[in-house]
Amino acid sequence: MLQSSAYILLLYRVINFFDTACTENDKCAFMQFKRLMKIEFSHKRSPDNVLKAEFILKSVSCVNMKSANIFICSCMVLSVYCGVQSSWHPFIASPWQTKYSRFSRVDQLEALRDAREMFYFAYDSYMNFAYPADELDPIHCTGRGHDHNNPGNININDVLGDYSLTLIDSLDTLVVLGDHVEFKRAVSLIIDSVTFEKNTTVQVFEATIRVIGSLLSAHLIASDKSLLFGNFFIPEYDGELLTLAHDLAARLLPAFEGTKTGIPYPRVNLLNGVLEGTVEETCTSGAGSLLLEFGILSRLLGDQTYERTARRVNEKLWQLRDPNTGLPGNLINIQTGKWVGYLSGVGAGLDSYYEYFLKAYILFGEPRDLQLFNEAYVAILANMRRGRASCSAHDGEPPLFVNVDSRDGSIANTWIDSLQASFAGLLVLAGQLEEAICQHAFYYAVWSKYGVLPERFNWQFKRPDVSFYPLRPEFVESTYYLYRATKNPFYLNVGREILDSLNSKTRVKCGFATVHNVDDGSLEDRMESFFLAETMKYLYLLFDEDNPVNIHQERLLFTTEGHIIPVLHKFREHSYVEADDYNKEDTKKGYRCRSLCSKLLDTTKLGGVIKSKRKALEYYEKIHSVRRCLMRRFGLLYSSNFDSHVLPVFPVITSRRCFLRRIFRYCYSSSTSSSQPGNSSIVVRFERGLPLLNVPLPSRQEPCQFSLRPLTDNVRGFCEQLQQEDRGLDHVALYTKDGVRIAMSTSIEHLLLFGEFRLRLNDKFYDVTLPAVNFDDFLSNDKMRHIDDLRATVASLHSCLCVDEYKVGRERRLIQQLEKAESELRPLHEKKLQIERDCDGARRACDVGRICNDGNTNRYFRTIDMVGIFLGYYGTSYIFCHLFHSHGRFRILSVYAPAFRISQSSRTGYDQAIL
C-alpha cells in the first residue's frame, strides 16, 4: 500500500504526460487501462500495477479522447491503487458519495433478478435432491434429517424433526416472489405428506418460530379473500395448515407442564412429551419468544390456552430480572427460577425476547406489551450502551450495545455476535432511527472486512472469536428495515454487496453452503432453512419496490423467523392478558434501583410508558453520573471510552470478607448460588506443590488423575487433556459457581483463585473444590482490606497502561519484522545453496581427475581406453566426464549435461566404454 506522498508524486507524473505526444495505438492502450482498472477494483491491488498503469497512460492518445476525462479516470484509479480513500482530486466527487449516493433503476432490476435466481437455484436443488428431508446438504447434493443415531447431537436435532422443514419455512417466500403456482403446490405437498406423529425430540423455540409461524402465515395468505398479497387465495383450501399448526402446538404444551415456574423445558418429544433426563435449563429468548405464534394461534382458534401460556412465561421472566439493573440473564433453571447464566445483551439468548415485546404490541395492541418494551429499552440504554452519547457526533468511540453482567451492568466480555445485527431493525420499528443507523454501520464495517458476518466478533481486538457464518439473515433484515425507513440508496448498495458476497463465497454445486471460517473461506455442507425463509426474502424485498409486501408494509409484520403476518382487526378484538399475570402494585409504583446508588438517586420510575426520548436520556445520564460518583468514591477505574466499566479483579484471597466483593458482588464470589445440577463433587488435592484431581471419565467408567499446571496451562489445555484421554467426551467446559462459563484462555492460576468451579462432562456437572484455608488465623480484616485495595490499584494501573494491548501489538510487530527478515534472507539463502552446489561439483571433478591420474600412474586402467564417469548433480544438470587415454595419459575430452551418450570412434585404442 503506497503512502500519500507516493500518490501525489505519481499523480504529478500523470499530469505531466497528458501534454506530450501519444502513440497511435490509443484505443488498444486505453482498453488495457480499463482492464487494469477492473483488476484493481477486484481488490487485487499491487504496486506493480501502479507502474503498469503509469506506463499505459503514457501511451494513451490525447487526440481521440479528452484529456480531462482521462485525467479523472487516472486520479480515481491511482487513488484506489494508493489506498487513499479521502485524497481525491478536489474536482472529483468522493468515491463513497459516487458509489453509495445512487442506485439506478436498472441496477435495482438486475439485483432483483439475481436475488430471484439465487432463491430458485437453492429451492429447486432442495426439492430435487433433498425433499422430503428437512434440509439440503448443498455440497454433496443430499438431504439431511433428524439424527436418530445420535440423540445428543442437539445442533441438528433441535431444529430438524423429519417434517420437511425447508419446504414449510419457505412458504411465504414463494408468496414474496409472486409464484402462486409453486405456493399452491407446496401447500398441497405439506397437507398430503407432513405429520407430527414423530418420535423426535425438538426444541420448543425452533419448532414454534420456524414451523408454527410459517404454517400460520401460509394459512392467513391462502385464506385471504381480499387478495392483499395477490392471487394466492386457494378456494379449495379448508384450514388444513391451521390444523397442522394446532397439532404441533398441542404437542409442545407438555414442555410447560411439570415445571414449578411455568417456564417450559427447552426440548420436548413430539410423541412422548418431556423425556426423563431432559435438561432443566433454558435460554431467555427460547422461553420468552413464543408470544406471537401462540397468540395468533389462540386468536384464530378462539382458545386462550396458548397465548396465556406464553404470557405467563414472559411475566415470570420479567419478575425474575435483576432488581438493580432491570436486566434478565441469558440462562435460567426452569424449576428453581434462579439464573444460571448472568450474561445480558441484545444478541444470542435474548434478542427475540425484546423483539417480541414490541411486535406483540403492534399485532395485538396490548398496552402491557408496550410497557414491558419501554422499560426493557431503558434498562438496555442504562447498562449496555457504550460509546459516544450522540450517534452523529464525531468524538469518542462509536456507539455499541455490549454484553454485560445482569447483576451490576459491568462488561461481561468483549465480543458481539451476528444475531445482534437484528437489533438495528428493531430500533427502526421503535422509532430510534439514528441509533439504528449507527448500529447497522458497525456491522456493515465487519461485513465489508470479511465479505460475510462472523458468528462472534471481538470489538476490542478487531478479530473474530467464532469464525463461521451459517448464512444468517439478521444483517440483511436490518438493511431492509433501514432502507424502507430512509429510502437511502446506500442500503441498496449494501444489499448488492451482500448478493455478490453470497454468490462468490458460499455458492456451491447444489445451493449455498455455510462458511466454516471467514478467514480462509472454507465451507461446511449445510444450508439451514432460514436462508430461504429469511435471508433471500429480505434481499428480494429490498430491491422490489412494487412488491405487495412493501406497498402494504404498514399492515404487515414479520416474525423473528421472517414470516409475514397481517395486522388484522380480529387480532385486537379480545384481550387475553390476565390481571394475575403481573403485579399491578409494581406497575403503579415502578421498581426502584435497589443497589448502592439507591440513596444517591431520586425515586426513578421505570414502570409505565416512557413518554419522550428526553426523559429516557435524562434517566440514562443520571444513572451514569451516580456510577461515576461511586467509582471516584471507591477509587475504581473509569474509562471514558466505555461509559461505565468497573474493572473486575480476580480475587487473590478467597475470603467472604473481601471488601470489594462484599460491595459489588462480582461473579467471582465464593458464595454458592448456582442452580446448575451438580451430580457429584471433585476435590483438588496438593501433592508436592502440584494440584491434582481425579476425574471420572464416562466412557471408561473409572477415575483418572489429572494435574493442573498453574504457570503453563490454561482452561483450553485442560479440556483438551480430558478429551484426549476419553474420546467419548463431546462437550467439556468449565463454569463458575454462578453458572458463568469460564473462557478457554483463562489461565489455570486464575482458575485456582476462584476457589470453586464446575466441570461439565457432556451433560453431567461436577463441583470442583479446593481445600479450605482459614485466612482469619493469620490475616486481620484491615490487612485483607489493604490487600484488596492494593490489588485494585495494580489492576487499574494494568488496564490504564494497556499492558495486554501492548503485548499483542508488540507480538504482532515482532512477527512482521521476522517475516520481513525471512523474506530478505531467502534470496541469500538460495545463493548460498547454489554456491555450495558449485563447490561440490568442482570438488567431485578434482577427485575424478586425481583418481584417473593415480590409475594411469599405477596401471589400474590397462584395458580401459575411454571412461565415462558420472560426477553427480552440478547446478541444474547431471554432469558426465569423458576421459581419453592416449600415450599413457588421461585427457578430459568433454563435460556435458544432462544426458550421457557414448559415441563409437574409428580410432585405434578404443576397446570399451564403461559408465
Q: What is the pLDDT of residues 402-432, one digit of tens each?
A: 999 999 999 999 999 999 999 999 999 999 9
Instruction: Quote the CA–CA distance of 535 and 529 in Å, as a whole number.
Output: 10
- So what's the pLDDT on residue 49? 53
- So what's the pLDDT on residue 712? 66
Q: Where are the domains of the chain?
A: 4-99, 106-581, 659-800, 807-914
Give kind and range of the element (H or E) at residue 246: helix 240-252
Mean pLDDT of 638-655: 28
- Give the model confidence (pLDDT) of 252-308 as tens digits: 999 998 899 999 999 999 999 999 889 999 999 999 999 999 999 999 999 899 999
Lowest mean pLDDT segment, chosen from 284-298, 466-480, 601-615: 601-615
Instruction: Quote the CA–CA distance of 45 and 78 in Å, as a whole number.
Output: 11
- So what's the pLDDT on residue 507? 96
What's at 357, amino acid-wise?
F
Which residue(s) pair with 475 in the sheet? none
Instruction: Quote the CA–CA distance of 211 and 297 in Å, as a whole number.
Output: 13
Region label for 842, one of left (φ > 0), alpha (ψ between -120 and 50) or beta (otherwise): alpha
**What residues are labeled active site?**
206, 351, 455, 474
Measured between alpha carbons, how far is residue 275 from residues 151, 179, 256 in Å? 12, 41, 13
What cell numbers appear for 314 in the block?
Answer: 414472559
Residue in 216, 194, 206, 372 with CA at minimum distance from that of residue 298: 216
- So what's the pLDDT on residue 640? 30
Give kind and range of the element (H or E) at residue 827: helix 803-858
- Give the model confidence (pLDDT) of 810-838 as tens digits: 887 888 888 888 888 888 888 888 898 88
Pairing mode of beta strands 913-914, 866-874: parallel
What's at 786, amino acid-wise?
H
Neighbours of 1 (CB within 10 A): 10
> Does 560 show up as a binding residue in the annotation?
yes
Around 825, how many Cα atoms within 13 Å sit in the side-chain half-sphere?
6
Pairing mode of beta strands 877-886, 889-896: antiparallel
> Burial code of 201-225, b = ≥16 C-beta within 10 A, e = fewer?
bbbbbbbbbbbbbbbbbbbbbbbbe
Instruction: Quote the CA–CA distance of 304 and 398 in Å, as a whole number.
Output: 45
- The fraction of the chain above a pLDDT of 70, given in percent, is 66
Lowest mean pLDDT segment, chosen from 56-60, 435-439, 594-598: 594-598
Around 383, how many Cα atoms within 13 Å sit in the side-chain half-sphere?
28
Any idea what the Cα angle at residue 106 is, between residues 101 and 107, rounded to 5°?
55
Instruction: Quote the CA–CA distance of 401 and 387 in Å, as a whole number.
Output: 9
Residue in 467, 349, 343 with CA at minimum distance from that of residue 413: 343
Q: Is the pLDDT of residue 20 over 90?
A: no
Q: Which residue has the higher pLDDT, 767 or 661?
A: 767
Give kind and range of the element (H or E) at residue 401: strand 400-401
Instruction: Quote the CA–CA distance of 379 and 361 in Å, as a whole number.
Output: 19
Pairing mode of beta strands 463-466, 456-458: antiparallel
Lowest mean pLDDT segment, chosen from 281-290, 772-781, 782-791: 772-781
- So what's the pLDDT on residue 87? 33
Lowest mean pLDDT segment, chosen from 184-188, 565-569, 595-599: 595-599
Q: Which residue has the higher pLDDT, 352 or 570?
A: 352
- So what's the pLDDT on residue 446? 94
Whether residue 408 contacts residue 644, with contact meaning beta carbons closer than 8 Å, is answered with: no
Peptide bond into 132 cis (omega under 30): yes
Q: Is the pLDDT of residue 165 over 60?
A: yes
Instruction: Quote the CA–CA distance of 272 and 597 in Å, as a whole number.
Output: 50
- Give the model confidence (pLDDT) of 341-367 as tens digits: 999 999 999 999 999 999 999 999 999
CATH number for 106-581: choose from 3.40.50.300, 1.50.10.10, 3.40.228.10, 1.10.10.1590: 1.50.10.10
- Give the model confidence (pLDDT) of 503-562 as tens digits: 999 999 999 999 999 999 999 999 999 999 999 999 999 999 999 999 999 899 999 999
Instruction: Identify the burial level of 334 via C-beta atoms within 10 angstroms of its C-beta, where 0-12 means exposed, 13-18 middle and 19 or more buried.
Output: buried
- Give the model confidence (pLDDT) of 854-913 as tens digits: 655 555 444 444 444 444 433 333 444 444 444 444 444 444 444 333 333 433 333 333
What's at 647, amino acid-wise?
L
- So what's the pLDDT on residue 875? 39
Model pTM above 0.85: no
Instruction: Quote the CA–CA distance of 424 and 601 in Å, as a whole number.
Output: 31
Taking the alpha carbons of 339, 340, 345, 350 in that order, is the dihedral positive or negative? negative
